[in-house]
Amino acid sequence: MATTTNAAPPKRAITIIIASLMLFSMFFGAGNLIFPPMVGASSGTNFWPAILGFLAAGVILPALAVVAVAISGQSVRDIGNHGGKIFGVVFSVIAYLAIGAFYALPRTGAVSMETAITPLLGWEGAFPNAAYNLVFFGITLLLSWRPNSIIDILGRFLTPALVILLIALITLAAFANPRSPGAPTEDYVSSPMVTGLFEGYNTMDAIAGLAFSIVIVSSLRAKGFSDKRHRVNGTITAAVIAGSILALIYLGLAWIAQTMPDNQSYESGTYLLADAANATMGTIGQSVFSAIVILACLTTSVGLVTSTSEFFSLLVPKLNYHFWAVLFSVVSFALAVQGLDTVLSIAVPFITFLYPPAIALIFLALIQPLVKKAVVFYWGYRLALWMSVLWSALTVISDQGWGTSFLSPILELSPGQDVGLGWFTPALICCIIGVVIDVVTKAGEKHEAAKLESAQEDLPAQATAQ
């Protein structure tokens, strides 16, 4: 007999495909147009190791972030609670604000205005900027108003349009001229894969993956994936498909750069792609490129408003989803009209601070199920996460010029500090110490047992309340 508790297999497969397209579109903002062409242009004859490094950090890591949250719960807070309840709340709030209203959201409006509207229509200045962003965030709010329909809005309509335009641009531009890679720039000569890895790292999409997971999980639940196992499997499948599409698009954009004459003279991948579109499609080229930028920004802004508002409505139940959606849209509009430089100056320190604990959290959450029979992490989580937070905070403080003469010599003792990975070795050492403590004290098993006992005690109270 058919069950009504979960979507039927054929419908489930279609839903996962639509969810995959939705996830791809949320990841693929205008900023993601910029990095791959620059990797392609700068890497020259070292193209393949450079682009593979870029894909490892810019595609695989964000996909793993989505999977890690799906395994641990349904939001950043669920996975963050492995570092303690205070860590879970503080980390998740900063993460959502940093990639939401304080950075990525206003950036979608500012970037689309500067790279799509101004070159196409020649509009610039305070009034056109404010008018455009008012319309942009108004449409974002309208499309985000019903969170359960976000999977259809993005997955069925906006994303296919974006993908079609991207495929058209890549197909025409990539084959318009023969590929003629030049000599790699200095950074790509000796270690192209590592340099590409750091370019992918700089997309900061791993934090976005943590944030977007709440949309994927809630969308699948709304579409009939009521069983956790089906939701986790569906989320993993969606992340793999979205990551594969993202990788192919990144590869195509990087390949275009290798076909453009004098490609290393460009300061931004945006201008390189705009010229490629104009060269291959004539006068319609700028219109096509502008449409790609606007769609990329719009799908990302809708995903960010939805995910951020869903998170805060769960965190503060007295204020509903629509309150937060309006608030974040208004704040994003206010910041976007100040211009991209203002947005970046506010957000970069927060993003820099968040990335090390985010990466540590992702990998620990993925490793734990593999070793759970041998050890349940408790101090393994906490010591590693607290060290990554401490090291990251000290790095940001030093970068801002506060106590640099004292902090820099200490921080530079760790390998990789000069390229932003100084936190890794101290966090790894702390993780190993924590795991040893967990093996000896069984702290993880005791913590899990206490959580289970507490949940069972809460069941009668919940039943009475209902």
Q: What is the pLDDT of residue 4?
A: 43
What is the tens place of the pLDDT at every residue in 187-200? 899 889 989 988 88
Cα–Cα distance measured from residue 247 to residue 63, given in angstroms and rounded to the nearest whole number: 11
- List the chain domain ranges: 9-338, 372-456
Is there a contact between 276 and 103 (Cβ–Cβ < 8 Å)?
Answer: no
Is there a contact between 27 and 205 (Cβ–Cβ < 8 Å)?
Answer: yes
Which tokens is 424 given? 């890794």
Is there a contact between 99 and 351 (Cβ–Cβ < 8 Å)?
Answer: yes
Q: How far is CA 430 from CA 143, 202, 385, 443, in A?
A: 44, 25, 9, 16
Burial of 126 (0-12, 13-18, 19+ CB in 10 A): exposed
Cα–Cα distance measured from residue 232 to residue 346, given in angstroms and rounded to the nearest whole number: 35
Question: 354 pairs with which residues across the strands?
Answer: none
Using the structure block, give the residue that is written with the tokens 């989803």: 321
Cα–Cα distance measured from residue 425 to residue 405, given in angstroms and rounded to the nearest whole number: 22
**H or E element, residue 415:** none
Using the structure block, give the residue that is written with the tokens 């300061």: 267
Cα–Cα distance measured from residue 436 to residue 248, given in angstroms and rounded to the nearest whole number: 42
Angle between helices 284-315 and 31-43 (to 10 degrees): 120
Which tokens is 22 given? 């939705």
Cα–Cα distance measured from residue 442 to residue 58, given in angstroms and rounded to the nearest whole number: 36
Phi, psi of 103 (to 5 degrees): -150, -80
What is the tens place of the pLDDT at every residue in 352-374? 788 899 999 999 999 999 999 99
Q: Could you tell me the pTM of the whole model?
A: 0.87
**How many Cβ atoms sit within 10 Å of the Cβ of residue 183?**
11
Is there a contact between 69 and 78 (Cβ–Cβ < 8 Å)?
Answer: yes
Question: 6 pairs with which residues across the strands?
Answer: 225
Report CA torsion sign: 264, 270, 273, 278: negative
Is there a contact between 366 and 424 (Cβ–Cβ < 8 Å)?
Answer: no
Q: What is the pLDDT of residue 180?
A: 85
Phi, psi of 225 (to 5 degrees): -85, 75
Cα–Cα distance measured from residue 268 to residue 287, given in angstroms and rounded to the nearest whole number: 19
Cβ partners under 8 Å of residue 317, min gap 6: none
Candidates 323, 79, 344, 341; CA nearest to 206 is 79
Candidates 26, 118, 115, 71; CA nearest to 310 is 26
Which tokens is 288 given? 């096509």
Angle between helices 31-43 and 47-55 (to 10 degrees): 150
Q: What is the pLDDT of residue 1?
A: 40
Q: What is the pLDDT of residue 421?
A: 85
Cα–Cα distance measured from residue 206 to residue 56, given in angstroms and rounded to the nearest whole number: 11
Which tokens is 299 given? 């799908």
Which tokens is 249 given? 């698009």
Cβ partners under 8 Å of residue 145, min gap 6: 322, 325
Show the 3-state SS of 289-325: HHHHHHHHHHHHHHHHHHHHHHHHHHHCCCCCHHHHH
CATH superfamily, domain 9-338, is Amino acid/polyamine transporter I (1.20.1740.10)
Q: What is the pLDDT of residue 38?
A: 94
Q: What is the pLDDT of residue 41?
A: 95
Q: What is the pLDDT of residue 12?
A: 85
Q: What is the pLDDT of residue 455?
A: 65
Q: How far is CA 54 from CA 48, 174, 195, in A?
A: 10, 19, 8
Q: What is the pLDDT of residue 238?
A: 95
Is there a contact between 265 and 46 (Cβ–Cβ < 8 Å)?
Answer: no
Phi, psi of 6 (to 5 degrees): -140, 155
Low-confidence ranges of the chain (pLDDT < 50): 1-5, 463, 466
Burial of 462 (0-12, 13-18, 19+ CB in 10 A): exposed
73: helix, strand or coil: coil
Q: What is the pLDDT of residue 457?
A: 62
Cα–Cα distance measured from residue 240 to residue 19, given in angstroms and rounded to the nearest whole number: 11
